Amino acid sequence: MPNRPLPPPASHYLLAAQGWMELGDPQSASEEFAAIGAEYRAHPDVIELSWHLEARSRNWDRCIAIADQLILAAPDRVDGWIHRSFALHELRRTSEAFEQLLAVVDRFPKVWTIPYNLACYCAQEGRLTEAREWFDKAAGLNRVAVEMAAADDEDLNPIRSWILSRKPTRKEEL
């Protein structure tokens, strides 16, 4: 089932729940989520939605367990790895978050979010040179997305002045 799309009506409930989440209505999202049959709860898309619902409620311990489920169900999907580290960081287990994500950085070489999050974790741990290196790697993958994400990310405050003072190289501008 992990590689198969959800059949109707489960797919409709999933889309509706995702839509409600995007609209900032987790209560309606939860109601749509509850309508998804138990036989589809192991589907990666359903597991991921479950993670987002728990994250909205800041249930970080539960988020770690759900991310672990997502990793088991779809190990080639980057979201589970990122979600688990994010939840660990939210629980102030930043060193563990860093190590867990570092372990898969080579597995997903084109995903800017991994080096970006590694930069955040290093910045929070006072490893500023390493934070800047990871930030540059992320920016090299998707400068616009990284700059947008960094604009109000408090985790990067320890390197904020460096970020603001950077001038893109000619290669980065292209």
Is there a contact between 138 and 146 (Cβ–Cβ < 8 Å)?
Answer: yes
With H, G, I as helix, E, B as strand and everything else as coil, classify residue 100. Answer: helix
Q: For the segment 117-165, what is each residue's pLDDT rounded down to a tens digit?
A: 999 999 999 999 999 999 999 999 999 999 999 999 999 999 999 999 9
How far apart CA 142 and CA 25 sit, in angstroms, is: 30
Q: What's the CA gap between 43 and 27, in Å, rounded?
A: 21
Q: Which residues contact 58 (CB under 8 A, 6 or more apart)?
A: 90
78-110 residue pLDDT tens = 999 999 999 999 999 999 999 999 999 999 999
Q: Give the whole-angstrom CA distance, residue 115 versus residue 57.
A: 26
Residue 172, pLDDT > 80, answer: no
pTM of the predicted model over 0.85: yes
